[in-house]
Structure 1
Amino acid sequence: MLIVYQLHNVKPHEVFLTVLFDIQISDNWPGYSLDLFTYPQHYYGDLEYVLIPHGIIVDRTERLAKDIMQDIGDNDIVVLCVLKGGYKFCADLVEHIKNLSRNSERFISMKVDFVRLKSYHNDQSMQDMQIIGGDDLSKLTGKNVLIVEDIVGTGRTMKVLLNNIEKYKPKMIKVASLLVKRTSRPDGYRPDSHMCYQ
């Protein structure tokens, strides 16, 4: 299922939550047969099926890059990658944005920084979340910020990060996520751009 949402106009210093594409995997989706793919031999016997083929992820990442470029316009961006899981997706997304920028009439300058969010201790959720790493977050003041995360679950952790970043009054904040997890306890938060395989 593909659902396209209308983009909203936003004012400076607002965090906007616009979902661009929503692709959902139903609970009864059987996946693709392993016979359709090649995969490392050390996975033989451990895998039953493929839910999301690599090619779809690559294509959707490139499309997200294009959508992000349209939203950002000619503005430079600071990409804030949420480690550790978001690293590969962030690297791929940034590379697609760079390629699109090189092949267009406008150049988008990007600075990439990294943060880790700690909301668990010994598998127990903590009330307070720690933001570890990242250059001085006050450098985000007046900047266009793109937060890149691999998976958004309940949205609680992302809301806390957004609240912390908003204190520094960036010009704009967008969130791109590879996946949005279907959960029985959502906080109502949805990233701006995501592939949303639930």
Structure 2
Amino acid sequence: ATQRCRSPLLFSIIIICFASQKYSLPIYSFRMFENVFRKKCREDLATVVRHTRVPPPHLSFTKAKTFRTGRVSDWLTDRSNKTKMAGCPVIKAEVKCGGIVIKDEWPGYHLDLFTYPAHYSGDLECVYLPHGIVMDRTERLARNIMDDLGAHDIVVLCVLKGGYQFCADLVECIKALSRNSDTSLLMRVDFIRLKSYLNDKSTEDLHIVGAEDLSVLRGKNVLIVEAIVDTGKTMSALLKHVETFRPKMVKVAGLLVKRVEDGVGILPDYVGFEIPNRFVVGYALDYNEYFRDLNHICVISERGKMKYRI
């Protein structure tokens, strides 16, 4: 309020104070100006309170609106309970049991907002899911798994190569929850390798490596961890193979599930994100063995596809 007072009045009071000290003026002369000053401040303070909603001069309401568009929440939808995530000004995603659903129109983040290896310059279109968002979602999946399977010992079957990073982070989150809760979950981790992609296409030729002897699964609770489920044909074939070893229970955790027209309807029990049919790389997902060293999940550009095509 004092900043809104007129400068001549404030200047006069300063002069009076200086004069009263130097020339021993009567004290009532100072108090008279002091009372006038306080009255003026009260009037100006009331003016400030009445206009608290006025924007600062350097930021109009028109400009402020531009800062509030293009949020991730504009591109995320829910198909079930309409329960919104809270506590984050950028991510206000709506969640369903099948994961966070990302709309087809979501353009991703500009590459200049993040760091990535320089040797991939020009090979990426955008950052689709930043590493931090992936990790936060993984922590939530770990809690869901603990709630469902915490009373059982499980065998985690990691699907290589694309699933190794997601599996490692998921297992670490489960271990952290197990250490800090009354429920202790005993885990054993095993690995299996699947290969069904050539360039950016999923082929019918499925190669399963390391599946010759999975007798350890017999009578056990199995959690299959896969990074991405595309058409679902690969996962369907894997589930049939795992069932031959007669496990007690089989659950599937998938970080990404694509919306595709020719899918076979395989939906994991635990889903991180449901995404459009776009070819994504990073976070151990590859394109002909490239891009596994990216922290973020990105969309590969047409130049990148041509550069690393075989």
- Under a length normalisation based on structure 2, what TM-score does the superposition of the two structures give? 0.54
Q: CA deviation at 1:35?
A: 4.3
Q: Structure 2 CA distance, aligned partners of 1:134 and 1:197?
A: 28
Q: Summarize the Cα distance change of 1:52–1:37 in structure 2 as closer, same or farther, 3 Å threshold.
A: same
How much is the aligned-residue C-alpha RMSD, in angstroms?
2.4
Specify every segment of 5 or more residues in structure 2 that has no aligned partner in the other structure, as ranges: 1-76, 82-95, 276-310
Q: Summarize the Cα distance change of 1:58–1:4 in structure 2 as closer, same or farther, 3 Å threshold.
A: farther
What's the % identity of the aligned pairs?
59
1:125 counterpart = 2:203: yes
Contact 2:98 2:274 in 1 (8 A): no
Contact 2:227 2:256 in 1 (8 A): yes
Bigger strand share: 1
Matches within 5 A, 1:28-107: 28-107=105-184
Q: Structure 2 CA distance, aligned partners of 1:31 and 1:66?
A: 27
Contact 2:257 2:273 in 1 (8 A): yes
Give the corresponding residue for 2:78: 2
1:113 to 190, 199, 203: 190
**1:49-89 Cα distance to aligned partner (Å, 9 max, x none):** 32212111000000000001111131111000010000010
Specify every segment of 5 or more residues in structure 1 that has no aligned partner in the other structure, as ranges: 6-18
Structure showing greater Rg: 2
Q: Counterpart of 1:196 in 2: which secondary structure?
A: strand
Range moving further from structure 2, 29-38 or 65-74: 29-38
Q: Structure 2 CA distance, aligned partners of 1:39 and 1:26?
A: 25
Q: Which has the higher contact order (CA 8 A, sep 6+)?
A: 1
Contact 1:33 1:49 in 2 (8 A): yes
Bigger helix share: 2
Contact 1:119 1:125 in 2 (8 A): yes
**1:15-38 Cα distance to aligned partner (Å, 9 max, x none):** xxxx83422222221222334334
